[in-house]
Amino acid sequence: MKTRESGILLHITSLPSPYGIGDLGPSAYEFVDFLERAKQSFWQILPLNPTAADYDNSPYHGISAFANNPLLISPDLLIRDNFLSKEDLEPLPDFSDDRVDYPKVIAFKEKLFNRSYNRFCETRRDHEYMQFCRENSQWLDDFALFIALRAYFKGKNWRQWPREVVEREPHIPPHLEEELHERIEREKFLQYIFIKQWSALKEYCNCRKIKIIGDIPIYVDYDSSDLWVNPKIFFLDEEEKPLAVSGVPPDYFSETGQLWGNPLYRWDTLKSSGYDWWIKRLERNLRLFDMVRIDHFRGFIAYWQIPTGETAVNGKWVKGPGDDFFCQLFRRFPSLPIIAEDLGAITPDVREIMRRFDFPGMRVILFSFGDIPKNPHLPHNIPRNCVVYTGTHDNNTVRGWFNDEATTKEKERLFRYLGRQVPPDELTWELIRAAFMSTANLAIIPIQDILGLGSEARMNRPATEGNWRWRLLPDQLSTSIAEKIGEFTEIYERG
């Protein structure tokens, strides 16, 4: 990132749609048109991996590092492509416009997926589909089998399956594979449809000079196809249970730290393969997106290792692959468009890796007004090679923060910095202006802040349930809002 640009953060699930959840259909294209009218260059989203009810449908707890979320498939585009008829959608459930009801959405879309797959089976499988299956067989075959087995064994994680299924030496029992054949093929079909719809949307963006920023969680979950297929690259014991798990130590955000619970990597094993699994993971993501943000980037340099069964307080820092890992990546990818999520307590060795490989970091305006000397998030302290946000998916909105969280001291520092006492209904745009004015090469603003929404529009409250449900209403993106953000883009030369 060498030029001044800007964009908007909005996850696909938050788009308007009559089907209970945002998808890759008409509203996604309308949002791209809004971005173009607002003179934006980037659309940032959250991870696209398949989610699971076990993990509160969090996009940061995917059940595959390679597959995509079928819930984002558009029924309207399935109708257009003759995989569904309008009658197949009836009766349409009474979905909420502003919240995702995941159980209701999943039940509805499962019916549509079954009908779509049956319609697909009635026709001769086209060359494009067969080519997709061949090109993605390295992950697709295992993922489809994993999903079929997960449904067959009803809620048990892969370690609780029969031994001959867990170990696959070299295959699962033939009678089981035969019984699951249709479900396996259905899952491949859904991944094909997702990519077909996603590729068309990405092309629509790129033709309008809008680039998409994706998101890669550093870890995967224990109950995922990746653990089942590649247990040797994870820090597991002889019974394939985690020896230690991920998290972060106590800091000024949390007195007890955070216990994430993801299995950790065996970086020595990964190194011996030339980091093959990670290279393939990045390769796939760089086909999906123009740029990727890597969550918890510091975990590549040193990670917090928590013994299984312990709290985050009892963890310890363990050295990660660091320089060797990124040297290998650059041998494979001459250009590596990565944004390093470097929020929290970051040590000099992390900064050195970022400097050496020229990875932009992140700054958050909402973090500017705490009692921190030379606060790195204050607009005048933000470096050029950086992405500045008013807030991220984990933060409250600007308005929600000011009304519900900011202390008296933080408000005083805020007003002193702005040079005046700003009314709450003007504050969001003042902080957007501060982000756009900063020297950071890229400014990304959550759509909730562009709309001036409060705590009710927050996407995620870490360590709580009931997240990832907020949705944009159909008429909220007005022409006047596009013009206002477009004007900021022109004034601060981010066009």
460: left (phi over 0), alpha (psi -120 to 50) or beta: beta
Model pLDDT, residue 252: 61
User: For the chain, which domains are there?
Assistant: 5-228+267-301+320-491 (3.20.20.80)
- 492 backbone dihedrals φ, ψ, rounded to 5°: -100, 20
pTM above 0.75, yes or no: yes
Cα–Cα nearest to 36, from 477, 441, 491: 477
Residue numbers in the chain where pLDDT is lower than 50: none
Contacts of 408 (CB under 8 A, 6+ apart): none
β-bridge mates for residue 245, sequence order: 263, 306
| Tokens representing residue 412 in the block | 């005083």
Indicate which residues carry an active-site annotation. 295, 341, 394
336-345 pLDDT, tens digit each: 999 999 998 8
Q: How far apart are CA 222 and CA 64, in angstroms?
A: 10
Contact status, residue 61 vs residue 74, Cβ threshold 8 Å: no
Angle at 23 between CA 21 and CA 27, to 5 degrees: 100
The tokens for 357 are 């490989």
Residue 463 structure tokens? 């360590």
Peptide bond into 91 cis (omega under 30): yes
How much is the pLDDT for 372?
85
CA dist 420 and 264 (Å) reads 48
At 123 the pLDDT is 80
Decide: 259 and 306 in contact? Cβ < 8 Å: yes
Look up residue 376 and give its amino acid.
Answer: P
Residue 42, helix vs strand vs coil: strand
CB half-sphere exposure, 163, CA atoms < 13 A: 1
Length in residues, the chain: 495
Angstrom distance (rounded) from CA 358 to CA 132: 34
* Nearest 10 degrees: Cα torsion 380, 384, 386, 389: 40
Residue 49, amino acid: N
Distance CA 239, CA 227 (A): 13
Please provide the DSSP assignment of 398-426 as one string.
HHHHHHHT--HHHHHHHHHHHTS---HHH
Q: 57 and 47 in contact (C-beta within 8 Å)?
A: no
Q: How far is CA 16 from CA 97, 322, 402, 448, in A?
A: 7, 41, 27, 14
- 358: its two tokens: 């020229």
The span from the CA of 135 to the CA of 132, in Å, is 5
Alpha-helical (H) ranges within 289-347 are: 322-332
Instruction: Tally Cβ neighbours within 10 Å of residue 358.
Output: 11
pLDDT for the residue numbered 124: 66
Distances in Å between the Cα of 170 and the Cα atoms of 164, 165, 166, 177, 229 are: 9, 10, 11, 13, 12
